[in-house]
Amino acid sequence: MPLRIGNNISAINAARNLNKNSADFTKRIERLSSGLRINRGADDAAGLAVSEGMRSEILGMKQAVQNASQGTSLIQLAEGSLNETSNMLARMRELAVQSSNSTINDSNREGLTAEFNQLIQEVDRIALSTTYNDTVLLTGFGNSVEQSGDLSTALAGFAGATEVGVSGAVPGTYVFTDTSSQDNQITLSVTLDDGTTLSQSIDVGSALDRDNCQNLVATGTTFLANFDRLGVQVTLVGPKVDTSTEALRSTTADSGVGGSFIVAGQAVTLAAGDTLANVASELHTVLTGLTPPGSATYDATLNEIQIDTAGHDVSGDGAAALGLIPANSYVDGRLNGKSIVVTAGIGGSLQVGANDGANNRIEINIGDMRASGNELNLNGLSIANQQSARSTITRIDSAILAVARQRGSLGATQNRLQYTSFNLENAIENLQAAESSIRDADVAEEVSAFTRGQILTQAATAMAAQANALPQTALTLLQ
């Protein structure tokens, strides 16, 4: 090998290997000191992208567990207040039963009335004072159903639905599909803002009777159609249940023998054998001119006239010729095309997932539990005399049932949140393990590589010193 002093190739080679070994040695020190295999994008670009996404999702899940815990606290607060409301309603019923007895007179009832009225005021006070983080819970919390028949057409009085409850239902317009009058099937669906359609079909055959070739809810009974996957419960009623309705419907194919239809003192003459569509148009003209205004429409699908009397009296042989009966009772097929509008309320949405989307949230719905609210409806109750006390018992029974159902719904949601927390904690554990396998350093492997790098660095340093000494031999030739 020639002896050169212009370029020391051996020294250059030793320096190159020393730099490479030093860089690897430094990397091993960094990984062992940080415990991470990936400390910067250069270490593993793809691995960094994947692990960062996992890290953010894990942090989101951990916060979701806290959200679920806080949601449980909120539910416990509301349910505790409703427990006292239930106790007060039981006492009010006791007072009503006592006042219904003939062994006491109206003077004796004054003391009962005083306590009764105080309890009603306390129901309102508790509802207004039950707050979580300055948010009132018992005056309507979470999503609610529009009660107007113009929006929620299923509640207009012609479909057989008297009440709709929501428990976790997302906001939107829910549409019924009930096309056949013989299949006992009802489908309810809603399209979310992101285009996703949620749908559920239920079989109501077990609750329906067969009468005059029709499947219908039995006379004097009710049936709860529970669309549990959507969080919607619809109360369907049979004939003679919704006696307070102002809705009537025809049961004839045409106007029959005709006659005089009288509403609020105004008469409409119906021609014999006239079509129901023409009759509906004539009646609608008169009804809309009343105060308050009513309406009459012809439903071609069901071939019937649907009349909203707006509280006005209806009489005359023309009304008999149309075979008018109370409209609000369920017959298979009557819900087709009807809708329920669920609107977003204050609060009521728990974020129990790391991402956006309806499946990452649980909706809590608490109705208006004030005495004057539509859930309890205690307005106008009195036990000042025997007759009013007796009618009050039934009203309070309905209020007790409403509170019990609300408490049951809250309890079910609380149990659901517990399982949600368990699932999140399990997901966090598994996702953390996956993130660890990508990002964390394998200490055994890194220590082995560290030892190797340390030895090679020391060896390269020694060889660099030896290589730098080689040109000095050229001096011996000059002596």
Query: For residues 180 and 201, which has the higher predicted lDDT (pLDDT)?
Result: 201
Instruction: Reply yes or no on whether the pLDDT at 200 is more than 70.
Output: yes
Is residue 150 scored above 90 in pLDDT? no
Phi, psi of 138 (to 5 degrees): -105, 20
Q: Tell the residue number behind the tokens 């149309």, with chain if given.
A: 322
Instruction: Please give the pLDDT value at position 461.
Output: 83
Residue partners of 109: CB distance under 8 A and separation at least 6: 99, 383, 384, 385, 389
Q: Which residues contact 345 (CB under 8 A, 6 or more apart)?
A: 140, 141, 142, 143, 144, 365
Give the residue, 106 or 339, on which the prediction is more confident: 339
Encode pLDDT of 251-280 as tens digits.
888 888 888 888 888 888 888 888 899 988
* Highest-scoring range by mean pLDDT, 100-114, 116-130, 216-230, 435-449: 116-130
Mean pLDDT of the chain: 86
Q: Residue 235 pairs with which residues in a beta bridge? A: 163, 224
Q: How wide is the angle at C-alpha 249 spanned by C-alphas 245 and 255, nearest 5°?
A: 145
Q: What percent of the chain has pLDDT over 90?
A: 26
| Residue 403 pLDDT exceeds 90 | yes
pLDDT tens-place string over residues 344-393: 877 788 889 888 877 788 888 888 899 988 788 888 888 999 989 998 99
Q: Residue 155: pLDDT above 60?
A: yes
Alpha-carbon distances, residue 300 vs 245, 288, 306, 350, 424 (angstroms): 22, 21, 11, 44, 52
Tell which wins on pLDDT, 193 or 478: 193
CB atoms within 10 A of CB 369: 26
Selection from 123, 258, 198, 366 nearest residue 188 by Cα:
198
- Per DSSP, the residues of 208-232 read EEEETTEEEEPTT-EEEEEETTTTE
Residue in 290, 308, 370 with CA at minimum distance from that of residue 148 = 308
Is residue 286 scored above 70 in pLDDT?
yes
Query: Which two tokens mark 117?
Result: 């009225």
Q: What is the pLDDT of residue 2?
A: 66
pLDDT band at 86 (very low <50, low <70, confident <90, very high): very high
Is the pLDDT at 241 greater than 60? The verdict is yes
Model confidence band, residue 479 (pLDDT cutoffs 50, 70, 90): low
Of 280, 272, 168, nearest to 229 (Cα)? Answer: 168
Q: Is the pLDDT of residue 422 over 90?
A: yes
- What's the number of CA atoms in the CB half-sphere (13 Å) around residue 364? 32
Q: What percent of the chain has pLDDT over 70?
A: 97
| pLDDT of amino acid 372 | 85
Q: Are 263 and 286 in contact (CB under 8 A)?
A: yes
Residue bearing the bigger pLDDT, 447 or 116: 116
Give the span between the Cα atoms of 336 and 227, in whole angstroms. 16
- Of 407, 449, 465, 437, which is closest to residue 89 (Cα–Cα)? 407
Average pLDDT for residues 433-445, to the nearest whole number? 83
- Nearest alpha-carbon partner for 367 in 216, 171, 166, 160: 166
Cα 180 from Cα 256, distance rounded (Å): 27
